[in-house]
Amino acid sequence: MSIWFQEYSLDDISALQRENMGGHIGIEIVRIGPDHLDARMPVDERTTQPDGILHGGASVALAETLGSIGGTMIVDRERYQVVGQEINANHLRPVREGFVHGSARPIHIGRRSQVWAIEIVDDNQRLVCISRLTLAVIERQPR
């Protein structure tokens, strides 16, 4: 049984982030599971720090992108939006090349808040970063 408010395709989800931070740093949503969302991000000049290793901020951007997209997919987008309230991350292993792969799963889905756990691994499935994101669910404001 799926947790998503409606059925989404990978193209639908890609359109949500094409012209914002996730798109600019190369985050690509690669799988929508019944209760999780998976993405990958390149380790390249956009996502590394001066010493050539994955920037911790890029890992956090991947985590928040995954959790926020997942949170958005759970609510009725006509009525609600999700906004980040708090994120933490433990950086466990450096990465110099290839891709990192993130997977986000909800820990709590409430009417007014959501909590997401995001794990990021390298191409060899070694844990790189673990993060927890808290989202507020608010009424959609007109643009």
The residue from 7, 64, 86, 139 that is catalytic is 64
Whether 45 is catalytic is no
For residues 38 and 29, is the Cβ–Cβ distance under 8 A? yes
Interhelix angle 56-74/10-17, rounded to 10 degrees, is 120
Give the separation between CA 116 and CA 106, rounded to whole angstroms. 4
SS3 100: strand
Q: What are phi and psi of 87, to 5 degrees?
A: -140, 140
Give the separation between CA 67 and CA 116, rounded to whole angstroms. 6
Give the residue numbers marked as catalytic: 64
